[in-house]
Amino acid sequence: MLRLPYPVRLACPPARGWLIGTLRGTLLGWLLALGAAPAAALDPPSGKAVLTLTGKVAAPNGPDGTASFDIGVLERLPRHSFTTKTPWYSKPRKFTGVLLRDLLAAVGTAPARLNAVALNDYRVEIPLDDVARGDAMLAYLLDDEPMSVRQKGPLVIIYPFDDKPELRNAVHYSRAIWQLRALDIQ
């Protein structure tokens, strides 16, 4: 039986289904207010898909249970930027994109272990800790410009190596996968 923390008086008897509708609306409101609900329905890509999420996708945008993203869909997610040095560039570069934890939230999934796959089929596992701490970012801009495949794009998973010196090691460099095409959520 549902008990409310305050007395409720109805002026007239409720219409059929009123209570269920009210409870659903109230529950949805609380979940949205607390940030516990998955994002609203993810728009399907209107352009060429550059990233596909498979595995534990709670809110897919395709009929096959996957979530596909074009650059426009990625740009509508919370944007972050940082400048960092990497072993691949001679000077510090600015990367802009979406944190992996925000990307997973967009498909209604909590931070999880990811298997990343590049265009050349290079594969690497990104552990839950990297996603949950918010260190790893899916970048789609390099120095405020879209990345071509020649520039290691269109997507790169990158870490803030300068802000967090503990990430400057071979393990994290190997997880900074470029030319990313797919993520499998474990």
CA nearest to 40, candidates 73, 1, 83, 89? 73
Q: How confident is the model at residue 131 (pLDDT cuts 50, 70, 90)?
A: very high
Rounded mean pLDDT of 76-91? 95
Does the pLDDT value for residue 154 go beyond 50? yes
CATH of the domain at 128: 3.90.420.10
179 inside domain: yes
152 inside domain: yes
pTM: 0.77
β pairing state of 114-118 and 123-126:
antiparallel
**pLDDT tens profile 20-43:** 444 444 433 433 333 434 445 688
pLDDT of res. 16:
52
Question: Which structural domain, as residue segments, surrounds residue 112?
Answer: 51-185
The overall average pLDDT reported for the chain is: 84
Rounded mean pLDDT of 131-144? 94
110 inside domain: yes
CA nearest to 147, candidates 97, 87, 84, 81? 97
4 inside domain: no
132 inside domain: yes
Q: How many domains does the chain have?
A: 1
Q: Decide if 57 contacts 109 (C-beta within 8 A).
A: yes
12 inside domain: no
Does the pLDDT value for residue 65 go beyond 90? yes
DSSP class of residue 165 equals G
Rounded mean pLDDT of 127-155? 94
